[in-house]
Amino acid sequence: MDIKIPKLSLVVLIGASSAGKSTLARRLFKDTEIISSDACRAMVSDDENNMDATKDAFELLHFMVETRLRRGLLTVVDATSARIEDRAKLVALAKKYYVMPVAIVLNLPLKICAERNRERADRNIPFEIIANFVTLVKRAGRNLKEEGFKRVFEYRNQEQVDNIQRVFRE
Ligand code: ATP
Ligand code: MG
């Protein structure tokens, strides 16, 4: 199955921690197209798990996203984007530059996210936080069109995610 998006899109991945956002982004998009909140955290604090760096990391993320959109470049935001405020900022940036906001939602079951989180070498997030993210992501799916996303692709299990062949840019 292919994903069809406009050539100039702001692709916002939405998913709990360990849902597989970074893995999917790397499979479908060029490295330089992906702006990740973890990479931004690392750039401002030397530690991609440093939650104290969140504010500065997102300032950097928004700056880089805005710069790319102003320059007419498709951009992918790799962050949880589980909260409506986080997405609103991104939709506003897309609108400012007449770029299409597109959402790719990894609405995977809590069991999978929690299992993967447990097995990760790079990061282990408390179960309650993952559970909270999963609830937010489930809720998000319903209102994304109203929030301004022009296209919404939602996946509810790993099989659906693995069936994504490629992104077709029209
Ligand atoms: P975070 O929000 O913490 O950055 P994430 O959504 O980016 O998490 P990933 O880092 O992509 O999640 O994946 C989390 C774990 O799940 C990794 O160990 C990865 O190998 C595994 N994983 C991701 N996608 C798949 C997949 N399609 N099949 C099997 N394992 C996967
Ligand atoms: Mg990631």
Collect contacts of 112-120 with beta carbons under 8 A, ≥24 apart: 112/18, 112/19, 112/158, 113/16, 113/17, 113/18, 113/19, 114/18, 116/18, 116/20, 117/17, 117/18, 120/18
Looking at all shown ligands, the one closest to residue 20's CA atom is 1
Ligand 1 pocket test target in 116, 133, 137, 157 with most atoms within 8 Å of CB: 116
Ligand 1: nearest atom to the Cα of 36? 4
Bridge partner residues of 103 (DSSP):
12, 152
Phi/psi of residue 12, each to 5°?
A: -110, 115
CB-neighbour burial class of residue 50 (10 A; exposed 0-12, middle 13-18, buried 19+): middle
Query: What's the whole-model pTM score?
Result: 0.97
Decide if the complex's ipTM is over 0.90. Answer: yes
Q: What is the pLDDT along the chain (170 residues), one digit of tens a residue?
A: 899 999 999 999 999 999 999 999 999 999 999 999 999 999 999 999 999 999 999 999 999 999 999 999 999 999 999 999 999 999 999 999 999 999 999 999 999 999 999 999 988 899 999 999 999 999 998 899 999 999 999 999 999 999 999 999 99
